[in-house]
């Protein structure tokens, strides 16, 4: 039996999966936004922001010590992570969607990965196309991008400046 994949329209307000109705929200509370923020980096790079920052910090330290092979190795690993999958875990796009695709009685002030797994299981059993979750996750991100980029850039620049100042003091 050939079962066709189901799709969720980008303008849908709700959809059914495995007998459950999911409502698509366009806002998050602070707790869920923090989870989304963590997942965003995993979605793009396969690593958390802290892991990326630590890798880049190590890269700078290796470069300053003349260990260019080690520094380049870190950079190449980061580049590889952009295209690789996280094994044995749900894809970050799916987890991100669990933050704003909610059930009727779901507590929108909370989020946990075990409940997210249940949702993803419903979506998988229903046969919903993965591409739809990529679109929803990316579409949700675009609402935050202008504000988030400005905040992130300022925060990142402050951290980089502090790190460079610290390195200069050590030299």
All structural domains of the chain with their residue ranges: 28-46+84-170
Q: Above 80 in pLDDT, residue 5?
A: yes
Strands (E), the chain: 14-17, 20-24, 101-103
Q: What's the mean pLDDT in 113-130?
A: 95
Please check the confidence at residue 111 and state whether its pLDDT lies above 80. yes
Residue 91: pLDDT over 70: yes
Do 23 and 102 form a contact (C-beta atoms < 8 A)?
Answer: yes
DSSP state of 5: P
* 166-171 contact pairs (CB < 8 A, 24+): 167/60, 167/64, 171/64
> For 22-63, what is the HEC assignment?
EEECCCCCHHHHHHHHHHHHHHHHCCCHHHHHHHHHHHHHHH
Long-range pairs, 152-159, Cβ under 8 A, ≥24? 159/53
Q: Over pLDDT 70: what percentage of the chain? A: 72
Which residues pair with residue 16 across a beta bridge? 21
Beta carbons of 98 and 119 less than 8 angstroms apart: yes
Is the pLDDT score of 165 beyond 90? Answer: no
Whether 163 and 60 have beta carbons less than 8 Å apart is answered as: yes
Is the predicted pLDDT of residue 161 greater than 50, yes or no?
yes
pLDDT tens for 29-58 read: 999 988 887 777 666 666 767 787 888 899
The whole-model pTM stands at 0.63
């Amino acid at each position: 039996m050939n079962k066709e994949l189901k799709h969720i329209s980008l303008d849908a307000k709700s959809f059914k999966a495995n007998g459950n109705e999911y409502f698509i929200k366009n806002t998050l509370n602070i707790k869920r936004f923090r989870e989304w923020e963590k997942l965003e980096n995993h979605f793009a790079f396969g690593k958390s922001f802290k892991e990326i920052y630590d890798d880049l910090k190590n890269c700078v330290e290796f470069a300053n010590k003349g260990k260019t092979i080690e520094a380049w190795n870190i950079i190449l690993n980061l580049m590889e992570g952009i295209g690789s999958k996280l094994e044995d875990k749900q894809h970050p796009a799916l987890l991100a969607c669990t933050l704003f695709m909610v059930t009727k009685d779901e507590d929108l002030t909370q989020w946990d990965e075990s409940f997210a797994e249940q949702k993803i299981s419903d979506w998988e059993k229903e046969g919903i196309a993965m591409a739809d979750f990529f679109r929803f996750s990316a579409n949700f991100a675009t609402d935050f991008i202008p504000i988030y980029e400005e905040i992130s850039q300022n925060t990142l620049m402050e951290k980089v400046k502090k790190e460079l100042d610290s390195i200069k003091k050590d030299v």
